[in-house]
Structure formats: structure tokens, C-alpha cells
Amino acid sequence: MPEYNSAVLQELLDGCLQKNRRSQELLYKQFYGYAMSICLRYTRSREEAKEILNDGFLKVFTKLESFDASRPFKTWLSRIMINTALDHYRQEVRRDVFDDVEVAEQVSVDETVISKLSHEELIGLIQRLTPAYRLVFSLSVIDGYTHEEIAEQLNISVGASKSNLSRAREKLRDMLSKINIDDYDRVAR
């Protein structure tokens, strides 16, 4: 039996169904890292990621009865987190609060940071992308969505999705070029 269907997890989920606060806390703690890593790559900052994370977990706890226990909980959780991030993105678009693309591009990688490049910093590079690029890149490269699905999710054309992905990669390469190649190699290993 897969880990996500373990007895411990099932017990936690049962407790969450009964709105047991302790079970909810344990589930939250257990999947915090996994869910936060998803949220981080769809947002610009940890604060924003935290907001999406908690919105997502709130949905988890309130919609848990709709979860099919025969399927992986992690998949369901990631789907919720991604959808929550997309909802957040739509709201941000409506409020037009995103930074100008060029401003985001002008953010340079601090030379002192390059030597300490880590997973967090690489994710930080994704966060520096513009929202449209960041979402397409994350959906396509990390979460495995097809361009058709991305186009449907973001209400854009397939061509626009492909274009955004291509440009997102260019931006990331550009940012990485400013990082010491040795540090890059260290991280890549």
C-alpha cells in the first residue's frame, strides 16, 4: 500500500473529517513542506505562498469528504494547491498588482548569493519571473501539465502557453548566467 494510503494517514484524515483540530494540525505539519514547495514556485514571496498554502489547506479540511481515499492524497493536495494558486493569480490579475515585466527582469542575482545557491534560491529564480511566465513554467516543467491544459487553465491559447514557456526559460537562463557556474554545478549535482 502506498505511503499516502497508510493507516496513519487514514487515521489523520478520519480525524480531520471529524474536524479534530489535533488531526488537522498533524496533517498540516506532515504535508507542510510538500505543499509549501508547490506554493512557493507559483508565487513571488513566502508570505504570498503562505497565504495560498493556508487557503489550500482550508479547502482540504472543508472539502475532505470529497476526497477519494483510493487515490493518492498527495496528488489531490497538489491539485488543490495549484488551483488555489491559480485562483490567487486570477485575483491578482483582476487587481492588476503585478510588477512590470521589465522591472522583474532587472532584478539581478546578488553575487554573494550565488556562492550559496540552493534549492530555495533556484525556486527564488522562478519567483522572480513574471506571473504569466512563472505559472506556465511551473505548470509545464514541474507539474507536468500539457500546453492544452495550461491554455485551458489560464484561459490563454496554446500558442501563448508555448511562447510563455519559452520566454520563461530564457529569463531563467539569463538569471543563471549571472550566477557562478561552479555554484550552478554544485546545485545541479
Partner 1 sequence: MIELPDDELDKLFRKSSEELDPTYEPDDWNDLRKRLDKQDGKTPAAWWRKWWPAGLLALLIPIGIVVYSWEGENARKGEGRKEKSGIVGLEGTEDGGSERGVVEEGGVKAPENAGVEVKSGVVSESGVAKESGRSSEGVGKSGVSAGEAVKATAGVDKGNPIVDNANELVAKRNRVAGNGKKDIGSELKTSKKEAGKSSSKSELTAAVGNNGGKPLPRSQSKAGGVFLEPNRSTVEGGDGALSFKNNAKAAGGETSLPQATSRQDVNTASKASTEMQPESLTKADESGRALISASALDSKALKWNVLQLPGIFQPVYELAEPPAPRKQSSMSADDRPLMAVRFGYSPDLSTVGLKDFSKPGTSVSLLVEYSVLPRLYLQSGAVWSRKDYSASAEAYQLPKHKYYPPLALSGIDGVCKVLEIPLNVRYDIALGERSRWFATGGFSSYHMNAEKYKYYYIDPKDPSAEKWPGWNGKTGWYWLSHANVSAGYEYRISRKLSLLAEPSIRMPLKRVGYGKVNLITTGLWLSVRYTPVFK
Q: Please, which of residues 144-173 interact with partner 1 by CB under 8 A?
A: 152-153, 155, 169, 172-173
Sequence-distant (6+) residues with CB within 8 A of 118 are 187
Query: Is-contact 106 174, C-beta < 8 A?
Result: no
Rule CB under 8 A: say whether 3 interacts with partner 1: no
d(CA 127, CA 49): 10
> How far apart are the C-alpha atoms of 187 and 189, rounded to whole Å?
5
Closest CA to 175 of 136, 128, 118: 128
Give the range of 6-14, 73-81, 101-109, 133-141 binding partner 1 by CB under 8 A. Answer: 133-141
**Footprint on this chain of partner 1 (rule: CB under 8 A):** 19, 21, 24-25, 28-29, 32-33, 36-37, 40-41, 46, 50, 53-54, 57-58, 61-62, 83, 86-87, 90-91, 93-94, 119-120, 122-123, 125-126, 137-138, 141-142, 152-153, 155, 169, 172-174, 176-177, 181, 184, 187-188
